Chains A and B, each alone.
Chain A
Amino acid sequence: MEGASATLEPLFAFLAHALATAETTFNKLPGSAVIQRYVKSSHQNDPGRTILELILVIFAIRTLLQSRTRADRNGKHFIQFSDKEVDELVDEWSPEPLAQPLTAIEQADLAAVPVVAGPNGPKPKLVSTGKTATNLTSFNFTGLAGNEHIKQKAVETLRKYGLGSCGPPGFYGTLDVHMDLERDIADFLGAEAAILYSQGFSTISSVIPAFCKRGDIIVADRGVNFAIQKGIQISRSTVRWFDHNDLNSLEDALISVEKERKKRRGPLTRRFIITEGIFERDGAMADLPKLIELKYKYKYRLILDETFSFGTVGRTGRGLTELYNVPATKVDMLLGSVAIGLCSSGGFCAGSQNVVDHQRINGPSFVFSASMPALLAVSASEGINILRSTPSILTSLQENVQAAHAILDRVDCITIPSHPASPVIHIQVRSQPGSSLHPSTAATMAIPGKQSNPHSILGKDSSSQDWDIDVEERLLQDVVDEALAQGVILSRAKRLRGQEMSDARPSIRLALTSALTKKETEKAVGIVKAALVKVLGKRR
C-alpha cells in the first residue's frame, strides 16, 4: 500500500499543481468570481440543484452535438448493411413504371376533348369535324373573346412592350400595365388594393399558404374546388369542414372551434373561413350577407374565391359583392380569375393594402413566377372598361341563363344543383327512383339533430352515396357526344379522380355566354335537352 502511494506521489503532486494552475487561470478570467459565487451559494442552498444543473449542461452539449447528424441514420429503424448487401438490395430493387398507360376509357376521353381550329368564341370551328358548332362550354361569359377593340389594344401593347416580361415581379418584372390592372381591379370591385397572379388556378393555392400557417384554423366548405383543397393542404393549418353551402352547419363548426379553443386555452390564432362565390363543382351560390354576418360574429377572416362569379354576376359583373350589395371591403381576401372573368389570363386577390402587400413577399406563386405578359394585362383592363360601360352585357347574359333554366327545369331525368342566376349550369343525372333524397341538395335536406363531423371532409351522407361515378360519367359522355353530333359543344366537368379530397358527383357543365342571342341559346339548350332525354331516357 505504502509502496503504491509512494509511486503515485509524483502523480498526486502533479494533480494538485494542475488543479492550482487551473484555479488561478480560472480566477484570472473576467467574471469568474461571479460564477464561483453562484455555484457556491446554489450548492449551499440546495446540493440537488447542482446535480440537476450539471445534468442540464450535459444534456445541452449532447443535443448540440447530436443535431449535426441526421436523425434517420441514428433512428431505431435504421438497419446497418454492409456495402455488399446494399449492392444486392440495389440490384434487387425494381421500381414501378413512371406512368401507367391510359386505360381505354381515359384514352377515349382524351380523344373526345374538343379542339378548336382558329379563334374560340360562341361558334368556333372544330378540328375533329371541320364544322362550326355552338359553344356551351368555353368560359366566354361576357363575350369578350374576339372583341376587336381589345385585339387592337393588345397589338398596340405588343408593339410597345414585346410579349414576355422576362422576370418575376420582384426583379424588374413589374410593368406599369400590371400596376394599372391591379388598380383597375381594385377600383372596379371597390377594394383598397389588388395583386395580380399570372395564372388563375394557382392564385388561391398560393394565397392560402401565404396567410394560413401551421396552427391557424381554417373552416372550409366541403364542396370547395381543387385549387382550394391544394392550398389548404399545403398550408398545414388545422381544418374544419362544414356542409356544402349550409351556413347553419358553418355556424355549428365555428361554435365547436371556439369551444375547443376555450377548452385548450390555446393562444389566439388566425382563423379563416374559406368558401366560393359560385362553386366550381356545382354552380351553387354562397349567401354572402349571411357569411359576412357570421364572420364578424365569430371574428374570422373570409377568403372568398370568386373565380366563377367575378365577371359573371352582378349588374356589371363585379361578382357576388355587387349582386348582394355588400361592400367588397368586408371580404378580407377576394379572389377572382382574370382568365375566366375577363377572357385574358391570370388571377387576382383583392383586399386591404396590408393583405396585398403581405402577398407580394409571401405568396409563392407571385414571388417565384414571371409576371404576366403585358398585352394580357392590358386586355384585361380593357375588359373591365367594357363591363363598366355596358351593363347590357350582363343583362343579356342573365336572360340567357333564365332561358336555359326554363328549358332544363322541364327535363325530369336530371337535377340542377346550380343557382338560378349562375351562368355556369351543372347538369347531374337524377338518381333512380327508390332513393328519394338527393345528396347534392344537402343544404335542403339537412336533418336537424344529426351533425356532420367537422374533422372530415366527407359529409354525413357520404356513406349513403347512391350514385356510381363510372356509370354516370359514361352516360354524361354519351350526352356530350350526342350534342356534338347535333352541333353543340358540351363538356363534362373534368375531375381528377383519386386526387380530390372528396369526389364530386359527375356533371355536364354548361357555360352560357352573352355572345349568343337568347334565341341561339334556347336552340342550343334545346339540343342539349333532346340529347339528355335521348340518352338518359334509354336508361330506364
Chain B
Amino acid sequence: MPLNSPLPSPMAITKLPSPSMFKKRSSPSLTSAASYLSALSQADARARSVNRSSSPASTPALSLSSSITSSSEDTVLHEFDADDNADGLALPARPPTSEQVFTTVHTEFGHCANGEYRLTSQHTPGAEVPAHVDQDPPYYILFSTYISYLILICLGHVRDFVGKRLSPKSYKHLIPRDGYAPLNSDFDSFYTRRLKTRMDECFSQPVTGVAGRTILLLDRLSPDYNHTQVFTGTKTRALNISSYNYLGFAQARGGCADAVEECIKRYGISTCGSRLEGGSSDLHTISEALVAKFVGMEDALISSMGFATNSTYIPALVGKGCLVISDELNHASIRFGVRISGANVRMFKHNDMGSLEALLREVISQGQPKTHRPWKKILIIVEGLYSMEGTLVNLPGILELKKKYKFYLFVDEAHSIGALGPRGRGVADYFGVNPRGIDILMGTFTKSFGAAGGYIAGNKTLIDRLRVNGHSGAYAEAMTPPVLTQVIASMASIMGIALPSTSSSGTLRITPSSSCSTAVPAEESQHPGPAPSNSLPPWIQLPPSLASGSEGSTRLRRLAFNSRYLHNGLIKLGFITYGHPSSPIVPLLLFNPGKMNMFHRMMKDRQTPIIVVVVAYPATPLVTSRVRFCVSAAHTKEDVDCVLRACDEIGDVLDLKHGLGKRERWGVQRVLGSAVELAGM
C-alpha cells in the first residue's frame, strides 16, 4: 500500500512551478536544491517503507488487519484516510499486539506502548539551572543573513519606487486620499508588505479537525505572489508538531470529549454574562476550586481568554507608584497589561539573575524617578517557559533573590503548566519548590488542557481583590460551560481522582507518586495530590484510566521523553537549538530569512508531511529566525524519529548544522537508535 501511492498533497505536486517570487528572484540556486531534495526524500521514503514492510515484524497486509482487530475501530479508522496510509500517519508503525488496547484515535493521540519511551520531567536537585546561551553560527551565516535582509529591503524600496509610478492604483490605500490619512502608512507597513508577504505561505494556514498528533490542512495556492490565497478544495493530513497540545488533550473522542458533550446537553453553550453580572454558574466555582488545588494555591479565578488574563488582571495588581520588572522576552499580553496599568516598567536581560539583581539594587536604592520616593511595590513578572526560546525560568534563583529584595513574583505559566514537572504542576513542580513561595501564578488552558482561557492563582485575599478589581470580572464574558468542562476533565485526569472513602491520598496514584515521592517534602504532600472526588460535578464520569490518573501520568512522561529526545537528538545531529532540554518547545535556529520558507515547504512536501512554525523578526531578533517545534505527548517515538530524519535531510541541504563540530556529530541512524539514551542525557 505505501508503494504505489503518489504524494497526497496537491501542494506537493504543484510545488515546482508554483509562483513563489522568493525562489525565483533572490535564490535561484535553491530551487534546484529543493527539487533535488524532494526527489531525494521521496526516494528515501519509499526505500524506508519498503524496509519497514519487509521487516519480519509485520507485513503491510497483516499490520492493517491486525490493527483493526485488536483495537476498536474508533481508535484507528478515520473518515478521511483509513485505507490510505501512504503518509504513514493514519496507522501506527508498529501494529498493536493483542494485549495492548488503545483508547485513542491514532491520528489524534498516537499509540505508543513501549514503556521505555517514558521519562519524568524533573529538575535534578542541587544542579545549576542552565543560563540562556545564544550559540553563535559561523560568521558567514551571520553575514549572509544581514545581506539577505539588505537585499530584501533594497528590493522592497525599489519595487515601491517603481510601483508607485507605474501602478499607483495598488498603492491607493497607502497614500492620503480625499482628506483621509492612510490607515497604515507605506513606511509602517513596509516590513509587512515587502518581507512578510514573501513568507505568507508559512503563516495563517487554515486547518480543520482536531489539532492533535496530526492535523488536516486545507490546501491553498497563491496565484498572485501571496496577495491572495485560493483554496484548492483538497485536504492534506500532516504530522502536527506546531500546536500547543502538550499533553495531547486536543481530542474529539475520549473521556474529556464525552464529558464536554454531557455538559453541552446539560448547560448549553454560554452562561450569558460577566462573572459579576449574572454570568456565574456553579461550574465556575467548581473549576476555580479545582485549579487552586491543581496548582497548590489557596484560591484561583478563571478568565475566558488567555491574553485577557494578563491584560486585564495585571492592571488590578499594580498601578502608579509601583514598579514592574519584566523579563525582556515576556509575552505581548504582559506588556499590554503593564502598559494599561500605568506602573513604571524596567526590563532585565532574559533569565539573567545577575542583571536582575543589579537592577533590583538600582531601583530599590533610587526609588521612583525624580521624586526618589520608595516604590509602593515591586512586581517581577517572568514566564515559566518562554514560548520563543524554550528557556525555563531560573525559579530557584529568583526565589533566592526574593528573600532579600522583598519583591512580589508573578509567574506566567502559559506554556509550562501541565507540561512540566513530575505531576504536571508547572515550573514549581519541576524545580520541587513550594508554589506558595510564588505570589501569583498565572496560566492558560489553551495549551496543555486542550481548552481555552486562563487562570490566576494566589492567596484568598489577592484573588478576591482581583475578582472585584480585575477588568474581566465586571465586563468580560464568563468562560463558557463546555470549556470549563474540558478544563475540569483534563485537569482531573492529570491529578487522578481520589476515591471518596479512602483517607490516604497517596495509595491511589499509581505511577507518579512512586517515582517522585522523594521530591515531595512530607509536610506538603497534600499539594500535588489527587483531586478529591467531591471536587467534580457528579455528572462528569471519567473512564477508569483517566480517573485513576494513570493515563495522565503516562501523558506527562511521554511528553517529557519526546521533548528531551527531540531536543538532544537535534543537538547531536549538529543543529543549533535554544532552550532547556526538558522544554516541550524546541526552537531550531535557521538564521537566513530565505531558509524559513524553504524549511517550511520542504517539511510540508515530504512523504509524511510535517507542518512547522517558523518565526522571524519581530517575534525574534532580526538574525535569529527559527523554526519552533512544539512536542506533544500525542507523538509517538516514531513521530519524533520522522521529524529528526526530516531535519537531518533538510539540514544538510539548507546548511543548518552549525552546532556541534563535524566529528562530534552523530549520524541520524545512531540518533534514532539511541533514543532512550539521548532522552536520559
Contacts and interface: CB of A to CB of B under 8 A. Distances in A.
**Max chain A Cβ within 10 angstroms of own Cβ: one of B209, B278, B306:** B278
Contacts of A172: 205, 207, 211, 215, 240, 242-243, 611, 613
B353 interface: no
Given A158-B264, A167-B243, A345-B483, 4 more contacts: A77-B372, A201-B476, A225-B475, A373-B452
Contact of A90 (B209, B364, B468, B483): B364
A205 B408 CA distance: 27
Given A113-B280, A162-B250, A200 B476 contact: yes
A167 B376 contact: no
A509 B475 CA distance: 13
B405 A164 contact: no
B477 A163 contact: no
A345 B446 contact: no
Contact of A98 (B196, B271, B439): B439
Interface string B134-170: 0000000000000000000000000000000000000
Kindly list the 5 A-B residue pairs having the minimum CB-CB distance in the complex, ordered from nearest.
Answer: A201-B476, A137-B278, A199-B305, A339-B477, A369-B307
Nearest to B470: A496
Contacts of A198: 305, 307, 452
A138 B271 contact: yes
A365 interface: yes
B203 to A, nearest CB: 5
A248 B462 CA distance: 45
Interface of B: 108, 173, 176, 178-184, 188, 192, 196, 203-212, 215, 218, 240, 242-245, 249-253, 256-257, 260-261, 264-282, 284-285, 304-308, 311-312, 315-317, 331-333, 336, 339-340, 360-362, 364-366, 369-370, 372, 374-379, 404-408, 439-440, 444-447, 449-452, 461-462, 464-469, 471-477, 480-483, 486, 611, 613
Given A163-B257, A202-B308, A376 B269 contact: yes
A394 B252 CA distance: 35
16 contacts: A78-B366, A90-B361, A93-B374, A98-B462, A102-B468, A117-B282, A145-B272, A146-B268, A151-B265, A162-B257, A198-B452, A269-B181, A270-B181, A358-B184, A364-B336, A499-B471
Contacts of B481: 119
A201 B453 CA distance: 13
A175 B261 contact: no
Contacts of A154: 264, 269, 482
A139 B257 contact: no
Contact of B272 (A139, A170, A354, A362): A139
Contacts of A56: none
A120 B317 contact: no
Interface string A328-363: 000000000101100111000000001100101110
Interface string A353-388: 011001011101101111011011001000000000
Interface stretch (A79-87, A316-324, A517-525): A79-87
A40 interface: no
A175 B379 CA distance: 38
B364 A370 contact: no
Nearest to A375: B482
Given A154-B264, A155-B264, A234 B181 contact: no
A155 B264 CA distance: 7
B272 A343 contact: yes
Contacts of A106: 468
A345 B477 contact: yes
Contacts of B316: 499
B273 A158 contact: no
Interface in A203-219: 205, 211, 213, 216
A220 B60 CA distance: 68
A315 interface: no
A362 B188 CA distance: 11
B398 to A, nearest CB: 16
A167 B264 contact: no
A116 B282 contact: yes
Contact of A164 (B203, B449, B475): B449
Nearest to B466: A99
Contacts of B274: 494
Nearest to A332: B183
A166 interface: yes
A25 interface: no
A52 B444 CA distance: 59
Nearest to A127: B282
A495 B474 contact: yes
Nearest to B211: A166
B567 to A, nearest CB: 20
Contacts of B205: 172, 174
A85 to B, nearest CB: 7
Contacts of A101: 461, 464-465
B276 A138 contact: no
A201 B182 CA distance: 27
Contacts of B446: 164-166, 370
Given A225-B475, A344-B480, A354-B183, A120 B279 contact: yes
A366 B253 CA distance: 28
Contacts of A109: 468
Contacts of B468: 102, 106, 109-110
A95 interface: yes
Contacts of B188: 213
**Max chain B Cβ within 10 angstroms of own Cβ: one of A102, A154, A339:** A339
A163 B474 contact: no
A166 B450 contact: yes
Given A113-B280, A355-B183, A373-B482, A162 B477 contact: no
Contacts of B611: 172
Nearest to A495: B474
A496 B471 contact: yes
A171 B203 contact: yes
A114 interface: yes
A212 to B, nearest CB: 10
B180 A301 contact: yes
A171 B613 contact: yes
Nearest to B180: A299
A113 B378 contact: no
Contacts of B306: 369-370
Contacts of B407: 95
Contacts of B243: 165-167, 171-173
Contact of A202 (B211, B245, B311): B311
Interface in A99-141: 99-102, 106-107, 109-110, 113-121, 127, 135, 137-140
**Max chain A Cβ within 10 angstroms of own Cβ: one of B277, B372, B375:** B277
A502 interface: no
A106 to B, nearest CB: 5
Contact of A89 (B183, B364, B483): B364
**Max chain B Cβ within 10 angstroms of own Cβ: one of A147, A227, A370, A376:** A370
Contact of A167 (B244, B271, B281, B466): B244
Given A113-B275, A175-B206, A119 B268 contact: yes
Contacts of B178: 299
Nearest to B480: A345
A373 B451 contact: yes
Given A198-B305, A379-B269, A496-B471, A167 B257 contact: no
Contacts of A201: 308, 312, 471-472, 475-477
A118 to B, nearest CB: 7
A181 interface: no
B477 A199 contact: yes
Contact of B207 (A81, A175, A226, A234): A175
A495 B215 CA distance: 43
A343 B379 CA distance: 37
B250 A166 contact: yes
**Max chain B Cβ within 10 angstroms of own Cβ: one of A109, A164, A340, A362:** A164
A271 B366 CA distance: 41
A460 interface: no
Nearest to A197: B305
